[in-house]
Structure 1
């Protein structure tokens, strides 16, 4: 049986195919250039496969009762912890360009963490198995990440 001849594409079909190929190539080249050209990239990526460190942020201080939350705070806020957290209440003493001053105070104990900020090594302060990290400072507010210490 002889092979069936392939129909010759019409000029309209060729034009559509050429447009489709051009669009695909443009998308591929743009994506490749964005991924490899460090100088041309925005300082903040437009899309990230993982959530932002401040995603899930709440202003409800009570969500921190279990010692696991991402919360926006203001100077003077007090975060109460439940009995499952081995830390006294957390008071936000100051928020400013020098960082955030945190104070843990309870029955007969006071601990302070002064000048906590995300740009100073992103360090974590730990108290009795609970980690405290400043993720962001925006004017008179800050975003804190509080969570149980994995090593405790």
Structure 2
């Protein structure tokens, strides 16, 4: 046998099986992706806008009080009303505060909440929520510096 046919068969075998080890190269298919921080877009460099979401309520959007401007709805100590400076909320016998509180007068309204003068002689600002003399809870629902929405509820 001559060396030419053996060389041709050997060349064909090498071409068909490839040169190198017997294992196929799968490194590209199984190599985990790596991310470099510099390749990631940042908020300042990203040209696309961020996804939109529904807007959250802000203090600039004035909600409606359940009882509107009907301050008489507070007589029983259960109401949600819109108040302004100079308003007086009169309370009835169902409010069991000690010492007794017959009325709340709105003397000022800031963006943080209304300031009340109480019939008992005390002055207080309802920053978020307050308890008055163990018988009345006053929660500020909304305030914009001119008007406020307050929720009154009796404490038993």
Report Cα offsets for 1:81-125 as digits up to 9, x if no partner: 1122232201001012353211211xxx312212x33xxxx3333
Alpha-carbon distance between aligned partners in 2 of 1:66 and 1:85, rounded to the nearest angstrom: 7
Residue 78 of structure 1 corresponds to: 88
Determine helix, strand or coil for the equivalent of 1:124.
Answer: strand
In the aligned structure 1, how far is the partner of 2:133 from the partner of 2:117? 11
User: What TM-score does the superposition give when structure 2 sets the normalisation length?
Assistant: 0.54
**Residue 42 of structure 1: aligned partner:** 54
Counterpart in the other structure of 1:136: 142
Deviation readout 1:28-77 (Å, 9 max, x if unpaired): xxxxxxxxxxx6322337xxxxxxx8552420110100000000011010
Q: TM-score, normalised by structure 1?
A: 0.55
Asked if the contact 1:57/1:143 (under 8 Å) is kept, the reply is no
The one of 37, 51, 76 aligned to 1:66:
76
Change (3 A) 1:148 1:54: farther
Change (3 A) 1:55 1:91: closer
Note the residue ranges of structure 2 that are not aligned, 5 or more in a row.
1-50, 58-62
| Distance in structure 1 (CA, Å) of the matches to 2:104 and 2:129 | 18
- 1:2-151 equivalences in 2 (<5 Å): 40-44=52-56, 56-86=66-96, 87-105=101-119, 109-114=120-125, 116-117=126-127, 122-149=128-155
Is the Cα contact below 8 Å between 1:74 and 1:95 reproduced in 2? yes
Over 3 Å counting, the alpha-carbon distance change for 1:54 and 1:146 in structure 2 is: farther
How many residues matched? 97
Q: Higher strand proportion, which one?
A: 1
The structure-2 alpha-carbon separation of the partners of 1:43 and 1:62, relative to structure 1 and needing over 3 Å to count, comes to: same
- Greater gyration radius: 2
Conserved in 2, the CA contact under 8 Å of 1:54 and 1:135? no
3-state SS of paired residue (1:128): coil
